[in-house]
């Protein structure tokens, strides 16, 4: 693996290269917002459809103001309370200020200020960076450098920031019909916004026959090669692999992978993609997934990721 220093990372980005960069959520594939051919390279490295836009990462809220976002209720409140952190805001923008490729031609753009100290320092040196999650399109995201090495090869340059503490992508909010809505669940649970918005934002999933608010929702996601079967009951004689939780009973002869304790969803979140990747590394072809758990708080995001990972279309 090619570990690079902060100085090298900044130099490579300014010269139009694509590198791996840590964030508190998941690792990103980073390019300068102003290096068009590097943005092209991100799409080809990830095999990402060109109509799926990228998130623009900034060093501060003040930097967002330079993009002249339209005034929206609670925009400043959200930014001031959740940035730096795992919140992405999709905002209407002046299209002249943001290269069309980054926003896939949409009249909006997605912004976030990540909280990983190394990434913030990098962003202060480089200016705005686009960063999709550092994984092949459709596959589980990367939460440690070895995951990038697996997806992009031994020589891919990576700024090593250790393990991602959150382990799930940022929550994406979009202001629609006078309310903020969640268009992608993430590391911030919907309940966490209520003290600031005075309501719990609704979670918008793709509506049949309509263009999705979040283009990423059109595509398969987070899925290992293994076939995942979501289960509430288990055949006691099952001898294959089970993805489950601590302090629960599973078939005695199964090969159990424990995601963590349901009372500590943060730990489950931090482990999730490593376990999904582990299935492929060990060439496990099928696993049963315990889906019998509540969907409050962060568990809602975890459940959504497991359901998507099990979806084969």
Residues that bind Mg ion (CB under 5 A): 133
Give the Cα separation of 122 and 107 in Å (integer): 28
Q: What is the DSSP letter of 100?
A: T
How buried is residue 15: exposed, middle or buried, by Cβ count under 10 Å (0-12/13-18/19+)?
A: exposed
- How far apart are alpha carbons 80 and 246 in whole angstroms? 37
Three-state SS at 144: coil
d(CA 218, CA 242): 28
Using alpha carbons, list the distances in angstroms from residue 182 to 24, 103, 149, 205: 20, 18, 32, 9
Asked if 84 and 115 count as a contact pair (C-beta separation under 8 A), the reply is: yes
Within residues 87-106, the interface with ligand TXA by CB under 6 A covers 88, 90, 103, 106
Site string for ligand TXA, 120-149 (x = CB under 6 A): -----------xxx----------------
Cβ contacts of 235 within 8 Å, gap of 6 or more? 251
Q: Does 268 bind ligand TXA (CB under 6 A)?
A: no
Q: Which does 23 bind (CB under 5 to 8 A by kind): ligand TXA, Mg ion, none?
A: ligand TXA
Other C-beta atoms lying within 10 Å of the C-beta of residue 39: 20
Residue 172 touches which of ligand TXA, Mg ion, none (Cβ within 5-8 Å per kind)? ligand TXA
* x/- map, 153-182, ligand TXA, by CB under 6 A: ----------------xx-x----------
| Cα 235 from Cα 250, distance rounded (Å) | 9
Single residue of 39, 89, 98, 110 touching ligand TXA by CB under 6 A: 110
- Residues in the interface with ligand TXA (CB under 6 A) total 28
**Window 202 to 241, contacts with ligand TXA (CB under 6 A):** 213-216
DSSP string, 9-23: HHHHHHTT--EEE--
Nearest approach in angstroms of CB 308 to ligand TXA is 11
Closer residue to Mg ion (CB): 133 or 185:
133
Which among Mg ion, ligand TXA, none contacts residue 35 (Cβ within 5 to 8 A by kind)? none
- Report, in Å, the least distance between residue 231 CB and ligand TXA: 28
Please select the residue that binds ligand TXA; options are 18, 19, 25, 259, rule is CB under 6 A.
25
List all residues 6 or more positions away from 216 whose beta carbon is below 8 Å from its beta carbon.
52, 184
Q: Is 75 in the site for ligand TXA (CB under 6 A)?
A: no
DSSP 3-state assignment of 27? coil
Query: Closest separation between CB of residue 273 and ligand TXA, Å?
Result: 12
**Residues making contact with ligand TXA (CB under 6 A):** 23, 25-26, 28, 52-55, 86, 88, 90, 103, 106, 108-110, 114, 131-133, 169-170, 172, 184, 213-216
């Amino acid at each position: 693996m090619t570990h690079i220093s902060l100085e090298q990372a900044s130099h490579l980005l300014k010269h139009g290269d694509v590198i791996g960069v840590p964030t508190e959520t998941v690792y990103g594939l980073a390019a300068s917002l102003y290096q068009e051919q590097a943005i092209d390279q991100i799409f080809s490295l990830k095999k990402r459809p060109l109509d799926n836009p990228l998130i623009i990462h900034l060093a501060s809220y003040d930097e967002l103001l330079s993009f002249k976002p339209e005034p929206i209720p609670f925009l400043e409140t959200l930014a001031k309370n959740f940035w730096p952190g795992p919140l992405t805001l999709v905002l209407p923008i002046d299209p002249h200020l943001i290269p069309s490729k980054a926003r896939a031609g949409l009249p909006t753009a997605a912004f976030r200020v990540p909280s990983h100290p190394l990434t913030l320092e990098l962003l202060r040196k480089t200016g705005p960076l686009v960063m999709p999650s550092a994984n092949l399109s459709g596959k589980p995201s990367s939460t440690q450098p070895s995951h990038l090495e697996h997806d992009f090869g031994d020589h891919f340059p990576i700024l090593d920031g250790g393990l991602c503490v959150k382990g799930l992508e940022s929550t994406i909010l979009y202001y629609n019909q006078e309310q903020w809505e969640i268009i992608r669940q993430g590391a911030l649970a919907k309940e966490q916004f209520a003290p600031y918005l005075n309501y719990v934002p609704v979670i918008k999933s793709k509506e049949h026959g309509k263009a999705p608010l979040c283009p990423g929702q059109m595509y398969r996601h987070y899925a290992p090669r293994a076939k995942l079967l979501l289960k509430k009951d288990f055949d006691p004689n099952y001898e294959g692999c089970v993805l489950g939780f601590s302090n629960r009973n599973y078939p005695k002869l199964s090969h159990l992978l424990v995601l963590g304790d349901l009372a500590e969803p943060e730990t489950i979140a931090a482990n999730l993609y490593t376990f999904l990747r582990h299935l492929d590394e060990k060439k496990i072809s099928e696993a049963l997934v315990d889906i019998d758990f509540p969907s409050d708080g962060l568990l809602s995001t975890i459940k959504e990721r497991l359901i998507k990972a099990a979806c084969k279309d």
